[in-house]
Structure 1
Amino acid sequence: MSRKPPNWSGSGATCGPTRCMTRCAGGSISSATSTSTTVSPPTWRHASASTQPTIPDSAEAYMTPQTDWSIIDFHAHVRPSWWQPALPDASEIDPEERAKRLERFKKLVDVDLLVRESEEGDVALRLLSSTIEGFFGTEGPTDIGEIRRVNDFLSNVQSRHAGRLAALATVDAYAGDVAAREAERAIVELGHVGIVIDSSRDQKFLSAPEVRPTLEVAAKHKVPVLVHPVGAPNSDALTRGGGVAAYSFGRGLVNGAAFFSALKAGIFEQLPDLHLVFTAIGTGALVIAAAEAEQYSDEARAKGNLPNAYFDVMGLNPQTIRYLVDFLGADRVVAGSDWPIWAPITRSTLTTAFEKAGLTPGQQKAIAEGNARQLLGLRNT
């Protein structure tokens, strides 16, 4: 049953087993967006935080007798119609894997499909990412004109599906002041609710001085930043040695390294209004953090005074969710699916994962919506 979504605050890539090296080709923004939605968007106002739409106190339309929470998916992907993915020749890839990738690529440009699946799965809001890696790979220069075009596309999608989809600004954080200016434009003029950046580029990480201006923009506006995995420099060797799973593991390694770079550089202490969201495939970093990072020592975790670093639950593995909650606390975990790559989030799949993980009702609500709601609401404080 289709339900009309509420309005959410601030509204105006892929992590899993697929390669992201792509190129841009000609096309139009309008051809990539849907006009079939019946949701009437509100008037979008971007002059100041005080004029942004506010998050409602509840989203009762999405609740069921079994659960008292709605779902905010922090980690979903879309691409504009002009996006042309690079795919290995048929002789270089298993036919079954090639077919899977082609199916994913079709979904990435099908915004209507994402909206339908959100309605069918009772997902109240999805935050959309179009990662830099997805357009330009992991090395070399990027094109600010194309990046602006992507953010305009995301703004268009967000407006057409107001209250159901919201955009994270696509930013090449490793481009310095140019990136910061685009982040500012996307947040202030286009109404994007946050930023998505790559974990690494040209083998640099979040501690690189070029990244600081973008992080400062996020902190100034109090919007969250999704730190997205990218392929490891030795991705080809990983794939040859261990297949697609090893390639994905490499992406998680880079995501975890980005987490450590933020800790090492003192970013969380220097920018207290900055909130970074990492992904479940980077969870292995927390095993190391427990032993080697002062910020996550037993004493620090006992006090509950942890950095503003969050992890999503992509994959919906109950044991992973349990570990994240036990190590970080439920207030540092958010729902995220990596749509359309990994297991889809629906009320049914998320409820099952929560129950198998042994989460309390309060922990379930925090992860499903509460923490994301709080992060999106900081902009209005």
Structure 2
Amino acid sequence: MIIDAHAHVLPDGYPEDAPSCFPSMEAVTGSTDRTLAFGEMRFRAKDVFFAAERRLEAQDASGVDREVVSPMPPLLKYDLLPADGLALAQHVNHFTAELCGHDPDRLTGLGMVPLQDPDAATGELAAIKEAGLAGVEIASNIMGDSIGHEKFLGFFQEAERIGLSVFVHAMPSPMNRLPKSAMGTYVVGVEGMFAAGSMVLGGTAAACPDLRISFSHAAGGFAMMLPRANYFWGGAWNEGPVDLDRAVMHDDGPSPLEIARRFYYDSMVFDHRTLRYLIDLLGADRLLVGSDFPAMLREDPVAKTLRDMDLPADQWEDISSRNALRWLGEARPAT
């Protein structure tokens, strides 16, 4: 069984009386495609983004048994007024729930919330669960504030309390840390690293030990940073015994690596050498299959790089499906 834990949806339209700040999906002459227009963005979306039957056909064609679908990341537009952001989130969530209702065994949906207003976002989580969605997608930063900022703690505590999964998608920061040419490449690595690191350093991960959270693209450069963070916490190379004479950032809680091993990470990193490092450092029980479909083409067949690594059967079973079920709260955590 293969579960693609990183795939995206777009609604096929928006109400005629929607606020002017909403996106639009413009018809494409002679095609079933639509053009997403959202501010300066123009993106041609194939009908597989919004047509349930087409999604199932695409699953069959690539060997996917089930998808976890989340809103296309540009919809996470946190510079909208909070009321407009909430209205947009509710429309997208309703659409996603209806799409997944077409075949709940093969389509699992994540909602979105207006995190520019943490209280409103927190209040919307119950409605997301009531709609039958399994969790919520958020961006890696909210108008430049990393997700580990204390003002978002209540949001994560509520998601943990009611059992919703969280998917963090790397997104550019308005602080322009990198040029626009890095949008789809380096930005993913930098912003994913900042997001995951902020959850550790800001204390949110420690405060929410049962939060089921996943990071797109393996949280970018986070895994390369962790051994250094662990050294500063414990004063030892290679996860050796704690040496307080060398440690400079020690506390009585779990180490940075122990916390990082509570998170999940999708495996869309484009290279088997990186995957081997992630498995070695974080564990095969932490990785999920991800594709970014249909914004990007899947490998043919899906997860080909993972398949070609000759992983032990138990590791392949974990990564291909069991970890996704654990992240979604449908199976027990690995022991």
Q: Using structure 1 for the length normalisation, give the TM-score.
A: 0.68
- Aligned residues with identical type, % of pairs: 23
Could you say which residue in structure 1 is the equivalent of 2:280? Answer: 326
| The one of 263, 285, 296 aligned to 2:222 | 285
Could you say which residue in structure 1 is the equivalent of 2:117? Answer: 175
Secondary structure of the equivalent of 2:105? coil
| The one of 266, 274, 277 aligned to 2:203 | 266
| The one of 84, 93, 102 aligned to 1:160 | 102
CA shift in 2, pair 1:106/1:378, >3 Å: closer
Q: Using structure 2 for the length normalisation, give the TM-score.
A: 0.77
Q: Distance in 2 between matches of 1:194 and 1:270?
A: 19
Letter in 1 for 2:60: E
| The one of 117, 129, 146 aligned to 1:205 | 146
| Residue 59 of structure 2 is aligned to residue 118 of structure 1 | yes
Q: What is the 5 A alignment of 1:1-381?
A: 70-82=1-13, 83-84=23-24, 85-86=36-37, 101-102=43-44, 104=45, 106-130=47-71, 133-135=73-75, 137-142=77-82, 143=84, 144-187=86-129, 189-233=130-174, 238-239=179-180, 243=181, 245=182, 247-280=184-217, 282-293=219-230, 294=233, 298-299=238-239, 305-307=258-260, 308-344=262-298, 348-350=301-303, 352-377=304-329
Secondary structure of the equivalent of 1:225? strand
How large is the Cα RMSD of the aligned pairs? 3.1
Alpha carbons 1:222, 1:378 under 8 Å: kept = no
Q: Distance in 2 between matches of 1:312 and 1:150?
A: 23
- Per-residue deviation at 1:356? 3.4
* Unmatched tracts of structure 1, length 5 or more: 1-69
- Per-residue deviation at 1:371? 0.7
Q: Distance in 2 between matches of 1:263 and 1:297?
A: 20
Alpha carbons 2:218, 2:265 under 8 Å: kept = no
CA shift in 2, pair 1:173/1:237, >3 Å: closer
- Per-residue deviation at 1:136? 5.3
- Per-residue deviation at 1:256? 1.3
More strand by share: 2
Alpha carbons 1:138, 1:230 under 8 Å: kept = no
Number of aligned residue pairs: 294
Alpha carbons 1:78, 1:108 under 8 Å: kept = yes
CA shift in 2, pair 1:164/1:129, >3 Å: same
Alpha carbons 1:173, 1:198 under 8 Å: kept = no
- Per-residue deviation at 1:223? 2.8
Could you say which residue in structure 2 is the equivalent of 1:36? Answer: none
Secondary structure of the equivalent of 1:74? strand
More helix by share: 1
CA shift in 2, pair 1:138/1:297, >3 Å: farther
Could you say which residue in structure 1 is the equivalent of 2:250? Answer: none
CA shift in 2, pair 1:194/1:363, >3 Å: same
Q: Distance in 2 between matches of 1:235 and 1:105?
A: 30
Secondary structure of the equivalent of 2:329? helix
- Per-residue deviation at 1:234? 5.7
Letter in 2 for 1:223: L
Question: What do the CA deviations read for 1:312-366 (whole angstroms, capped 9, x no partner)?
Answer: 01255322222211111101111111111234156x342x312433422211111
Secondary structure of the equivalent of 1:191? coil
Q: Which has the higher contact order (CA 8 A, sep 6+)?
A: 1
Secondary structure of the equivalent of 2:63? coil
Q: Distance in 1 between matches of 2:241 and 2:307?
A: 24
Letter in 2 for 1:119: D
Question: What do the CA deviations read for 1:20-50 (whole angstroms, capped 9, x no partner)?
Answer: xxxxxxxxxxxxxxxxxxxxxxxxxxxxxxx
Alpha carbons 2:214, 2:327 under 8 Å: kept = no
